[in-house]
Each structure stands twice: as structure tokens, then as C-alpha cells.
Amino acid sequence: MKWDERRLKIIEYLRDKGINPYPQKYVITHSIVQLRKIGLEKNDRPKDPFLTNVRTAGRVANLRRHGKASFVDIFDEGEKLQLYLRVNELQNRYEQFFAEVDRGDIIGVGGDLFFTAKGELTLLVRDYQMLAKSLVEPPDWSKMSPEFRYAHRYVDFLYNDRARQTMERRYTIIREIRNFLNLEGFLEVETPILQPVYGGALAKPFKSHINYLDEDWYLRISLELYLKRYIVGGFNKVYEIGKVFRNEDIDVTHNPEFTLLELYWAYADYIDIMDLTERLFSHLANRVLGTHELKYHLGDREVVIDLGKFRRVSMFELLSDHLGKDVESMSDEELKSLMKTHGLVPRGSMYVRGLMIEKLFDKLVTPELVQPTFVTDYPQETTPLCKPHRSKPGLVERFELYIAGMEFANAYTELNDPILQDKLFNEEQEMMRRGDQEAHPYDRDFVRALGYGMPPTGGLGIGIDRLVMLFTNNSSIKEVIPFPMVSSKLIEE
């Protein structure tokens, strides 16, 4: 590793003086966060020290030298503390401080807390200690490029307050999802990430090799088929929050690994799941935002989304409204020419009626769904894992939740008919043979599990990263994933 020569010399200098630039321990009396809290309670902002013999620590962000009295900002856990250093208190250690300490170093400081004339909470420093000498010059935090931030996220978290706050909110959301589901009586479970057959979604997988078995296995693309095995096995309300992996493109809404919530609920159907989904979003709005009104930046306009009101409407109704004509009365040829005018290609390039309707819906109607909308009753061809509709032939009991033009949830009355499952998987095999790389593979063990008998079940999937995008007003998935995928060349640099 190549380090900054000047900083290396400082380390040498410190060691020569018998000072360890990386000591084992520094005892603090308060964190910076705690000191700021104390400062907030001092409404009169006393100019004289009101708390003495304080010891705290943080990272040096900014040094402002003024001759014999200087100011230094240190940060910890996203909170700033200003230090005031004076020759009067530090004597010869004053000059030493500026010879030894650079931006980015982590230091411990002891002294007295007071407010400056400008009203800034400040520590009058009486002693200091190097806790970790940094060897890399911190970047100009206002000018960090997105690529740099994503490749070296720890720097982003340190110097970009928004990135830090986005992560804090991400983990609040995940914690509140768990709280909600646990209260609803769901059990959090785990399923394998390495699987002999991938499934539960239509996507290209990552392949791996198990040396011991000398077999090719896959990284999971969803949680579905194993969670349903829990349902078969007699666990009636289960959920998992975990990473899934899809070997597809990387862009502002797609990362090859992303976090998915899936839950399965025995003796429930997709209507029950819709009700549950509404309660979940309402819970999150209350706990995370403190209101059901959410502001989101959509393109160049800001929209206010009401998370207290969910519309329920069928896909056919929405598409018919948009086209100004009944979709069911349109011929396959009409649909196909409509596809062509919009430059659309259906899944696997199969111009099947149901797939064309889904594609047209995605392209034409989805962007208009700004307020929370449950879109119900999809064509059978869109998924091999959903139960046929109880009253509408050719459709399945599926819904997707759209907010701000994005998909946030996908749910089914789950297919539990083993004979139909076998047939639909076989049809997917045919799609794969015809070149659809995202067709669903046949999972023999899963069909066998259904053969043992799975109760009627409702299931739900929610992409956590996109949910965090919504709740943090971010338009790029890279902002809400702690370590988004970027080229390794960019990371290694």
C-alpha cells in the first residue's frame, strides 16, 4: 500500500517520542452526541465553562488556525463538536498539536465545555491524545463523486450527512417491519441462500459450485419456495427478510443483490394479504415518518403521497381506462401492433395475450399510479406460482402495490394444487427451451411438497430497498444500499 509520505513521517515522529499513534483505549466521560444533548439543555448558553474535566473523542474534520488560539471541528456518530485550543492552556503542546494532527485523524480530548461568543458549543481543550492517525487525505466532502461515494461508502457515511441519515432510516424501517410482523404473530425464519434449483421469481441466477458434492448450485433469486415448505411443514405464519441475487443489469433501480421481505400466511387469501399490507404501510408511516403523508421527488415535481388511503382496482380496468377501450374486446393482433408502436417486447419474446397485456400495463399505466394502488387480477401467463381466480377465467389471484409509479409489493393467493403446479412448471420448461432465460425452472422437490398438502395460503413479497427509497426520498437504489455493487476496479482503484 502506498501512503501519504507526510503523514507517514508524522507516525515516525510520534513513535520516536514514545507515543503510540494507535493506542488500545481512551476512556471518555461523554460521547459527542451526549455533549450536544447537554448543550441543548443550556438555554442561557453560558460563556464560562459549565462542565469541566470532560473527556470525549472524534474525527478531525476541519482545522482553523489563528495564531495562538485556534478552532478545530471533530465529528462522532454524525454530530460535531467544536474544540478551542489556546497556548494559555496547552503551552508547548499547542504547536505540537498542529504538527501532529491532520484532518481525518481520530483524537481524544479533555477539557471544559462552554459556549463561544457566537453561541457555539465548544470544548476548551486542556489535553489531547492521538487515537488513530489517518494516512489518507479525506476528500472534499462537498465534491465527492457518486462513483467514489458508492465505491468507498465508509467515507460517504463519515462526510455526507444525508448518506448517514438514509442508513439510519433504512434500519429503522427494517426494525419496524419486524416489530409489526412479530406483533401480528408471524415467526421470522431462515432459508438456504445456496440452492440446487433456484425459483420463486422469473430472473437469471448466479451459479456457484459446491466442491464437496461436485455439483453446480445457485444463489437464491427469491425466498418463496422454501418459505412455502415451512407452510407445508406446519408453520402457519412465517416471514424472512434476506438478500436475494439476480444476475441482471445494474442501474438506478436495480442492484444484483437486494433485500427482500416475503411472508406466507396459511388459511389466508390475497384479500387478507392486501389488508395486512395496508396495515404494514400504515404502521411504517406512523413509526418512521410520524404522519401518513409522504413527500417524494418524482422527476422534477414533488408529490405528496397519502399512505392512509389505498385504492384497489383490477389491471384490466386500469388498462382499459388508459386506452379508452375495453381490453377484453381487443384482438391479439391489435395488442401486438400496440406493443410495436411502444417498442415493447414481452417476456421471452412470446407474443402471448396475457404477457402482452402485462407489458402494456407496465409501460402505459404504471407511471400514472402515484397514490397507493393495489392492482389486482393478473393474466395467468404472468406467473406459474399463483392460484387461478375464483370467478374470472384466465386470471390469477395476484396483486401488486404501486406507489409513485414504482412496484412495492407482489402478492398471491398461493397455488397449492400440485397437479396444476406440475403443469405450469412444465410450461415454463417449454419457455426456457424456446430461449426465455428467465423462465422458471422445474423444482421437483417443491412440487412433491405440494403433493403432501399445503393449506390455502396467502403470500407477499416487498422489495426493502425500494421501500427505503420511498421513505427517504431517494431516486437511486445505490443511495439506500449500504454497499451497492460497483466495478471492482473502481473499489480497488
Interface residues toward RNA, by CB under 7 A: 6, 47, 62-69, 71, 73, 82, 84, 86-88, 102-103, 114, 116-120, 122, 137, 139-140, 142-143, 145-148, 201-203, 246, 248-249, 251-256, 258, 343-345, 347, 359, 362-363, 406-407, 410, 438, 463, 465-466, 477, 486-487, 489-490
**Nearest to RNA of 281, 449 (CB atom):** 281
Smallest separation (angstroms) from RNA to the CB of 277: 16
Q: Are 273 and 414 in contact (CB under 8 A)?
A: no
What dihedral do alpha carbons 306, 312, 316, 319 form, nearest 10°? -10
- Pairwise CA distance, residues 482 & 257, whole Å: 12
Supply the angle between the helices 161-183 and 464-472 in degrees, to the nearest 10: 120
Smallest separation (angstroms) from RNA to the CB of 347: 5
Q: Terminus-to-terminus CA distance in the chain, angstroms?
A: 12
Smallest separation (angstroms) from RNA to the CB of 487: 4
Reference 347, options 431, 459, 426, 429; nearest CA is: 431
What does residue 205 show for φ and ψ, rounded to 5 degrees?
-95, 165
Smallest separation (angstroms) from RNA to the CB of 112: 11
215 annotated ligand binder: no
Q: Are 415 and 224 in contact (CB under 8 A)?
A: no
Smallest separation (angstroms) from RNA to the CB of 486: 6
- Pairwise CA distance, residues 213 & 152, whole Å: 37
- Pairwise CA distance, residues 387 & 385, whole Å: 7
493 annotated ligand binder: no
- Cα 470 to chain centroid distance, Å, stands at 10
Give me the count of residues in the chain: 493
**Residue owning grid cell 412465517:** 238
Smallest separation (angstroms) from RNA to the CB of 137: 6
**Nearest to RNA of 25, 489 (CB atom):** 489
**Nearest to RNA of 231, 355 (CB atom):** 355
**Nearest to RNA of 114, 471 (CB atom):** 114
Across the strands, what pairs with 403? Answer: 406
- Pairwise CA distance, residues 125 & 455, whole Å: 68
**Nearest to RNA of 121, 415 (CB atom):** 121
**Nearest to RNA of 3, 267 (CB atom):** 3
- The rounded radius of gyration (Å) of the Cα atoms in the chain is 29
**Nearest to RNA of 94, 186 (CB atom):** 94
The set of residues, in sequence order, having a beta carbon less than 8 Å from that of 301 and lying 6+ positions away, is: none
Residue 63 in grid coordinates: 482545522
Smallest separation (angstroms) from RNA to the CB of 105: 11
Smallest separation (angstroms) from RNA to the CB of 140: 5
Q: Which residues of 351-377 are buried (b: 16+ CB within 10 A; e: fewer)?
A: bbbbbbbbbbbeebbbeebbbbbbbbb
**Nearest to RNA of 240, 266 (CB atom):** 240
Smallest separation (angstroms) from RNA to the CB of 97: 12
**Nearest to RNA of 68, 444 (CB atom):** 68
* String of DSSP letters for 244-268: EE--S--BTTB-SEEEEEEEEEET-
Smallest separation (angstroms) from RNA to the CB of 253: 6
Q: Are 467 and 241 in contact (CB under 8 A)?
A: no
The set of residues, in sequence order, having a beta carbon less than 8 Å from that of 336 and lying 6+ positions away, is: 351, 356
CB atoms within 10 A of CB 414: 27
**Nearest to RNA of 54, 266 (CB atom):** 54
Across the strands, what pairs with 457? Answer: 266
Reference 477, options 152, 301, 284, 250; nearest CA is: 250
Point out the annotated binding site for Mg(2+): 400, 407
Binding residues: 400, 407
